[in-house]
Homo-oligomer: A and B are copies of this chain.
Amino acid sequence: MDAMGRSTKSSSERSKSRRPEAGPPVGSDFLQLDIGRAPAGGRTAWLTDRLRSAIADGRLPVGTRLPASRVLAEELRVTRGVVTEAYRRLAESGQIAGRGRLGTVVVAAPAPPRAHPAGPALPGPALFAAADREGAVDALRALPCRTDLSPGVPDLAAFPRTAWLRAERAVLASVSPGDFGYGDPRGAPALRRAVVDWLARNRGIRADPAEVVVVSGVAQALGLLARTLREDGISRVAVEDPGSLGTRQQLEYGGHTVVPVPVDQRGLDVGALRAGGARAVLTTPAHQFPTGVVLDGERRRDLLEWAAGGGVVIEDDYDAEHRYDRPPVPALRSLMPEGVCYAGSVSKLLAPALRIGWLLVPPNRLDAVVTAKRYADLGTGILTQLVLARLMDSGELERHLRHVRSRHRRRRDVMLRAIRAHLPGARVHGAAAGLHLMVTFGDAHGTARGGGPRGSDFRDTDLAEAALARGVKVHPLSWHRMTPGPAGLVLGYAAGPAHDIDEGVALIGAALRDTLA
């Protein structure tokens, strides 16, 4: 491209110093071409490849005149057709061209790769202060650490590798060739049936497979809903406060204004939802994130009444299966299919990295959501879908859930003991279920109700910063707040072994003393 004077810095620099302009053509010795190395019957391909490599690595810079085909053929002792065909291929790809009296000239070289930064720049101390920064959670995730107590991840060492491989083998032995083609954007019928049965057994939901859209996790489900709600003229969505930073960012990226609605000991404040005037709400009724509160019976009925009046409820059922002391509360969706869009996934059941989940939407929204899914990616990968369907149908997934539930429970107990020992002033919330708990400091209420911008004597971002300096990753509660409230932390206990949990909480205790000092 240098020949055209409109190219990249690197290649134009190269050409300035080395371009032979209209000098004599190079000869076959310019590349130490040894036709004896060409495979029998593959001389054209060999010559094309040698010339292309020489152009790519700069031995034949842009502007170089190549020898006439007759001359090169004689030098290499090949037929002229071999050379003309190699030239033709290079001309076809735009790298050489006939230039009248100058003959055949190199006109464009592949650009070399440039050095790229290894990833987004990590903001260091600014990470925790910039609560709304896109990708803050990702940036924290990418940092090395000693102990990771970030919330939202199950026991990944327990991933059922053997059962997965067994199911994959069965799938590969039985899948029809047609299933490898472009499929229904709603997902594989086998998985949609398995999800319906799973939800009936575990979440009290009675649904038809035609209502299920397989998605690449709850994140995608929220993206599809954000898009289709906007098509309906809805551009403000109420969210729980405190509530998940990630899902709030998801809605904002989808073009919505998010409206905070307080959460108290009974869950989402439905009266405040009504007063806020948003026509849609994103909620986590079975186990509110991050407080762990269960939406109580009366609030549930009140929320469904709001939905019956035209409100859209988006139920994010992200970790409801992990309840330790009694069976999980059935999903809101089980009581009212019409007003509830229900999203769930295997991220907390098996592994977030599988990126697979499900979205159930009321009939009047189904076509728009299927269209959104079609244009998002034409559907989710088939093998993961079929393997998951087998694990659900065979009971393996429930076996796995029972297994990790008992491990998670033990880890929760370790964390509770560690908090009593190392963070004696902290109040614990939401320990009855889930993969995380919330602690607050220095406020008798301990929920999002009270407090100024500094609900305690310190900022929880400073505490998270001090903990990270000691090698422990946690989420400051203020990351997940839209309005000020008591300082706190959100602590995941499911991912790592008991010893790490105890040590991590002890280090947080030390960090707290630093922060208060």
Contacts and interface: CB of A to CB of B under 8 A. Distances in A.
Given A94-B335, A95-B297, A110-B330, 7 more contacts: A48-B327, A113-B337, A216-B216, A216-B381, A353-B381, A355-B382, A376-B377
Contacts of A374: 134-135, 138
Contact of A355 (B97, B351, B380): B380
A376 B48 CA distance: 42
A355 B381 CA distance: 5
A329 to B, nearest CB: 5
A190 interface: no
Interface in A341-393: 350-356, 363, 366-367, 370-371, 374-384
A376 B180 CA distance: 23
A180 B351 contact: yes
A337 B180 contact: no
A456 interface: no
15 contacts: A8-B338, A93-B297, A95-B297, A108-B300, A109-B335, A117-B210, A134-B371, A156-B180, A156-B181, A165-B169, A182-B352, A219-B376, A353-B382, A354-B381, A380-B381
A142 B379 CA distance: 14
Interface in A107-165: 107-120, 134-135, 138, 141-142, 152-153, 156-157, 159, 161, 164-165
Given A8-B338, A378-B217, A93 B204 contact: yes
Interface of A: 1, 4, 6-8, 45, 48, 52, 56, 85, 89, 91-97, 107-120, 134-135, 138, 141-142, 152-153, 156-157, 159, 161, 164-165, 168-169, 172-173, 177-186, 204-208, 210-211, 215-217, 219-220, 223, 249-250, 253-254, 294, 296-298, 300-301, 304-305, 308-309, 326-327, 329-330, 332, 334-338, 350-356, 363, 366-367, 370-371, 374-384, 495
A383 B165 CA distance: 11
Contacts of A96: 297
Nearest to A355: B381
Given A110-B205, A111-B206, A116 B363 contact: yes
